[in-house]
């Protein structure tokens, strides 16, 4: 049994991951701006504060905290919030474990497939490929750099570059369940995705099997906006409209943020499979049927 500290523990992934870790007899503590339960401890990044009791005897930190990428339009102020909520939080954790001389067994950080940039290409991106040159690429690179600093203290670092997380409640799938299902823009952009159960099991693998390095956490089956929409429409028995939502409308509504809806490339799951993870939900049909 390990003692695991989770940031972003009340979010979509953090909530389910906490349940699964506790079911496997791990002790989970959560950093929260407004602690409500006995396993939650206060932190305040603006005040450079973490309740030290949260860090005592901690074996692993799972860093999921970060303002939602697609929650609001990308003003310059919002962009800085997106970066700071990932980077400053990691820096605070690093400084506090250094000050308290906490000997972690591992630091496990979320990242995104946005690392490769919001672009549509026929190549399949692998973990060794270059970072994208757009805002998302910049966010993910800074996010990952903040995680890598833990290796300076001989702490193993695991980074999971995650696609769209599919879950029963909340998240992207709920927003996709419109009365009529249609692709976005050209529909040719790829949507790297993963079932929330698979993602949480990979985090658990990182804890229980000393699973370190950088990994794409996406299902092995590739889908475009068109094929994803067709599968979703069939699954929830809603009409499918083959005419895509026009790109100019999305750009009017969301500004620069529309790029993450209109662009996307294939992302490889081969490395994580070669490292011993077997997906429970390899196909979108199986994932949607389950959800």
Indicate the burial class of 282 (C-beta count within 10 angstroms; 0-12, 13-18, 19 or more).
Answer: middle
The more confident residue out of 210 and 97 is: 97
Give the DSSP letter of residue 46. Answer: G
Are the C-beta atoms of 265 and 216 separated by less than 8 Å?
no
Q: What is the pTM of this model?
A: 0.95
Q: Compute the distance between CA of residue 269 and CA of residue 276 in angstroms, rounded to an integer.
A: 11
Q: How confident is the model at residue 37 (pLDDT cuts 50, 70, 90)?
A: confident
Question: Rounded distance, CA 291 to CA 285, Å?
Answer: 10
pLDDT digits (tens, 9 = 90+) for 157-209: 999 999 999 999 888 888 888 889 999 999 999 999 999 999 999 999 999 99
Furthest-apart CA atoms within the chain: distance in Å: 58
Q: What is the pLDDT confidence band of residue 143, given thresholds at 50, 70 and 90?
A: very high
Q: Is the pLDDT of residue 234 over 90?
A: yes
- Please check the confidence at residue 29 and state whether its pLDDT lies above 90: yes
pLDDT band (50, 70, 90) for residue 63: very high
Q: d(Cα 74, Cα 86) in Å, to the nearest integer?
A: 16
Domains of the chain: 3-290 (3.40.50.720)
> What is the per-residue pLDDT across 72-89, written as a single tens digit (0 to 9) for each?
899 999 999 999 999 999
What tens digit of pLDDT does each residue of 114-126 get?
999 999 988 999 9
Of the CA atoms within 13 Å of residue 93, those in its CB half-sphere come to 33
Nearest partner of 70 among 118, 125, 7, judged by Cα: 118
Picking from 188-197, 243-252, 269-278, which range would have the lowest pLDDT averaged per residue?
A: 243-252
143-173 burial, b at 16+ Cβ within 10 Å, e below that, comes to: bbebbebbeeeebbbbbbbbbbbbbeeebeb
Stretch 14-23: mean pLDDT, rounded? 96
H/E element holding 171?
A: helix 171-176
Q: What is the mean pLDDT of residues 276-289?
A: 96
Residues 6 or more apart in contact with residue 72 via CB below 8 angstroms:
78
């Amino acid at each position: 049994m390990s003692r695991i500290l989770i940031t972003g523990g009340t979010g979509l992934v953090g909530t389910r991951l906490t349940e699964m870790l506790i079911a496997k007899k791990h002790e989970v503590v959560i950093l929260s701006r407004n602690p409500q339960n006995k396993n939650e401890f206060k932190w305040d990044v603006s005040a450079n504060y973490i309740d030290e009791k949260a860090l005592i005897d901690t074996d692993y930190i799972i860093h999921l905290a970060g303002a939602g990428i697609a929650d609001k339009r990308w003003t310059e102020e919002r962009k800085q919030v997106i970066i700071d909520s990932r980077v400053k939080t990691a820096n605070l954790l690093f400084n506090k474990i250094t000050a308290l001389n906490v000997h972690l067994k591992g630091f496990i950080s979320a990242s995104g497939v946005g690392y490769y940039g919001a672009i549509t290409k026929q190549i399949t991106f692998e973990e060794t490929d270059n970072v994208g040159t757009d805002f998302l690429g910049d966010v993910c690179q800074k996010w990952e750099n903040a995680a890598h600093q833990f290796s300076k203290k001989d702490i193993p670092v695991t980074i999971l570059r995650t696609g769209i997380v599919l879950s029963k409640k909340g998240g992207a799938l709920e927003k996709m369940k419109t009365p009529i299902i249609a692709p976005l823009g050209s529909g040719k952009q790829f949507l790297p995705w993963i079932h929330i159960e698979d993602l949480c099991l990979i985090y658990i693998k990182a804890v229980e099997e000393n699973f370190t390095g950088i990994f794409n956490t996406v299902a092995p089956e590739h889908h475009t906006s068109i094929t994803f929409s067709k599968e979703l429409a069939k699954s929830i028995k809603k009409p499918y409209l083959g005419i895509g939502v026009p790109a100019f409308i999305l750009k009017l509504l969301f500004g620069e943020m529309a790029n993450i809806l209109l662009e996307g490339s294939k992302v490889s799951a081969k490395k994580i499979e070669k490292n011993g993870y077997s997906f429970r939900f390899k196909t979108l049909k199986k994932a949607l049927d389950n959800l």
